[in-house]
């Protein structure tokens, strides 16, 4: 398998509606991806409001033979489904995807609390049964917590085959994500790693000028995203690196350097470390959008945080970003509309206190 996977959580959309996917654009992206020898696609039951799995069916399943692709999807435990609920979700995923079996099936976004719930409903036993029935080929889980929790899960659940981890050069030593330590735990348990968020929700593809200059002075050729993806792909125990691609240009760029992948050199790591030391984000949001589903005030939280981060990086131009904030919130909720219900924070893989951060957006961007 080539070390690049197509993440289907940031697909092109129409009219700013994240559940209205531009299927024709996705088809063009898929065609280019497959034509270059890549086969791994990653989606989830909740991506794009449930429409990501449908988009995969339309763009891939209906247009390619079954042996031309590998598909991963995930069972969410956010809503605390019981056995019947898990069966309903799995069967709905099969129907949406239009396949008779799923290649890789994960429990979605496990952490300390969700793992304890998974045990109460025997979620690991359920996905193991699916594998025994041939309905899925491989089982595992995606993970958002610390190395101690990961070690506990892998000790208690030896049947899982793979782990999906958040790894990128900014989070490698991060105090919350602890990418390096989680990677080392998975490796010690001989569990191959699928990397998610290698570009940190696009943040490492759109660098501030001071950080971008470091790469440019070293080598102007590669895209900023390529440094982030190749950093992860160079790890020995990584099966594949997911990239949540949003347009054809990103597909062309990613496949250009991953088609015949060459691991980074020692001097490359020195440059990346300098860039990482230069980067600071006021809000470490990866724009996964788990927080937006079900928001009673229809606040597009990642979009607001993106404007806030840009504002914080470019001190002295509040008017520019307040205008941009107005554009972003023109057809959705503002930060000041937040009622602090907390459902967003409970879904956040980065463990962000979202209501408090929205209050910061109010004071800085709505003043």
Domain assignments of the chain as residue spans, ordered by start? 4-278, 301-365
Question: What mean pLDDT is reported for the chain?
Answer: 95
pLDDT (0 to 100) of residue 347: 87
Measured torsion, CA atoms of residues 113, 243, 170, 310, in degrees rounded to the nearest 10:
-100
pLDDT one-digit tens code per residue, 27-54: 999 999 999 999 999 999 999 999 999 9
Write out pLDDT tens, residues 80-104. 999 999 999 999 999 999 999 999 9
Q: Which long-range contacts (CB under 8 A, 24 or more apart) does 23-30 make?
A: 23/55, 23/58, 23/59, 25/247, 25/248, 26/55, 26/58, 26/59, 27/58, 27/59, 27/63, 28/248, 29/59, 29/245, 29/247, 29/248, 29/251, 30/6, 30/59, 30/60, 30/63
- Residue 346 in this model has a pLDDT that exceeds 90: no
pTM across the whole model: 0.89
* Angstrom distances, CA of residue 105 to CA of 43, 127, 282, 292: 10, 7, 34, 24
CATH number for 4-278 (one of 3.40.30.10, 3.20.20.100, 3.30.300.30, 3.20.20.140): it is 3.20.20.100
Burial 4-35 (b: 16+ CB within 10 A, else e): bbbbbbbbbbeeeebeebbeebbbebbbebbe
Query: Taking residues 342-347, what's their average pLDDT?
Result: 90
CA-closest candidate to residue 177, choices 191, 196, 194:
196
Q: For position 315, what pLDDT does the model report?
A: 59
DSSP assignment letter at 310? H
CA 67 → CA 34, 64, 145, distances in Å?
Answer: 12, 8, 34
For 140, 202, 225, 263, the CA distances from 217, given in Å and listed in that order, are 41, 22, 16, 20
Task: Report the pLDDT averaged over residues 342-354.
Answer: 90
Which pLDDT band, with edges at 50, 70 and 90, does 314 fall under? confident
> pLDDT, tens digit, for every residue of 228-283?
999 999 999 999 999 999 999 999 999 999 999 999 999 999 999 999 999 877 88
pLDDT category at 284 given cuts 50, 70, 90 is confident
- What would the mean pLDDT of 107-132 be, rounded to a whole number? 97
DSSP secondary structure, 165-190, as one string: EE--TTTSS-TTT-HHHHHHHHHHTT
How far is Cα 119 from Cα 126, in angstroms, rounded to an integer? 10
């Amino acid at each position: 398998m080539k070390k690049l996977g197509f993440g289907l959580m940031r697909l092109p959309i129409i009219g700013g509606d994240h559940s209205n996917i531009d299927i024709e654009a996705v088809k063009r992206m898929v065609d280019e991806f497959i034509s270059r020898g890549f086969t791994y696609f990653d989606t989830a039951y909740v991506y794009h409001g449930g429409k990501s799995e449908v988009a995969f069916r339309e763009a891939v399943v209906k247009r390619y033979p079954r042996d031309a692709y590998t598909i991963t999807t995930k069972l969410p435990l956010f809503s605390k489904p019981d056995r019947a609920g898990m069966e309903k979700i799995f069967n709905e995923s099969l129907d949406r995807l239009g396949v008779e079996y799923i290649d890789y099936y994960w429990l979605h976004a496990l952490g300390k609390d969700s793992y304890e719930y998974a045990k109460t409903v025997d979620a690991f036993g359920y996905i193991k049964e699916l594998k025994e029935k041939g309905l899925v080929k491989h089982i595992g889980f995606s993970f958002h917590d610390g190395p101690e929790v990961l070690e506990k899960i892998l000790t208690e659940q030896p049947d899982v085959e793979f782990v999906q981890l958040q790894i990128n050069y900014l989070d490698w030593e991060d105090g919350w994500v602890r990418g390096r330590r989680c990677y080392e735990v998975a490796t010690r348990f001989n569990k191959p790693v699928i990397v998610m968020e290698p570009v940190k929700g696009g943040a490492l593809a759109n660098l501030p000028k001071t950080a971008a200059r470091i790469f440019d002075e070293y080598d102007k050729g590669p895209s900023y995203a390529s440094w982030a993806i190749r950093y992860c792909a160079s790890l020995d125990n990584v099966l594949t690196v997911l990239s949540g691609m949003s347009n054809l240009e990103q597909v062309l760029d990613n496949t250009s350097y991953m088609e015949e992948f060459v691991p980074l050199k020692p001097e490359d790591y020195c440059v990346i470390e300098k860039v990482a030391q230069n980067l600071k984000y006021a809000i470490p949001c990866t724009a996964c959008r788990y927080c937006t589903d079900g928001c009673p005030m229809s606040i597009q939280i990642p979009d607001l945080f993106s404007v806030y981060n840009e504002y914080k990086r470019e001190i002295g131009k509040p008017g520019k970003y307040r205008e941009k904030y107005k554009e972003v919130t023109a057809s959705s909720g503002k930060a000041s509309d937040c009622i602090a219900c907390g459902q967003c924070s409970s879904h956040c893989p980065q463990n962000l206190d979202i209501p408090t951060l929205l209050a910061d957006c109010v004071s800085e961007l709505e003043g």
